[in-house]
């Protein structure tokens, strides 16, 4: 019985160590991506939430204007693409993020 408990304890400790190592690698990868400029802008997600909640277009444009990724023309293009889907079940959240991805030309934002 004593050997079983000892083996269970050793396996548990090993699993915790492996999980910690995985988390350290995840953090290192995230920092590396941030240094390369490949991270998402939280303002885009905030604007998508407001859009889905039915906020006025001006309020959504205001949030997007604070984004470093979109200029005025891109903001207007995003709004035009997303407005058609505002009546969807999710309020147009997914369509808004797809519109941003389409305007940026790459899939950076996911639902």
Average pLDDT over residues 8-29: 91
Choose the weakest-confidence range: 39-43, 47-51, 80-84, 98-102.
Answer: 39-43
Choose the weakest-confidence range: 27-36, 43-52, 63-72, 90-99.
Answer: 27-36
Tokens 């969807």 identify what position?
Answer: 88
* Confidence label for 91 from pLDDT (cuts 50, 70 and 90): confident
**Distances in Å between the alpha carbon of 50 and those of 30, 33, 44, 45, 91?**
27, 27, 10, 9, 10
61 has pLDDT over 60: yes
Q: 56 — phi, psi (to 5°)?
A: -60, 150
Rounded distance, CA 75 to CA 103, Å?
A: 9
């Amino acid at each position: 019985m004593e050997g079983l408990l000892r083996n269970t304890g050793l396996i548990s400790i090993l699993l915790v160590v492996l999980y910690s190592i995985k988390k350290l690698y995840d953090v290192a990868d995230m920092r590396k991506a941030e240094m390369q400029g490949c991270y998402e802008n939280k303002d885009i997600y905030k604007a998508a939430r407001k859009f889905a909640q039915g906020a006025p277009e001006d309020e959504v444009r205001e949030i997007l204007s604070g984004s470093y990724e979109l200029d005025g023309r891109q903001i207007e293009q995003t709004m035009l693409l997303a407005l058609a889907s505002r009546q969807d079940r999710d309020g147009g959240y997914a369509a808004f993020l797809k519109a941003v991805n389409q305007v940026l030309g790459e899939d950076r934002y996911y639902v």
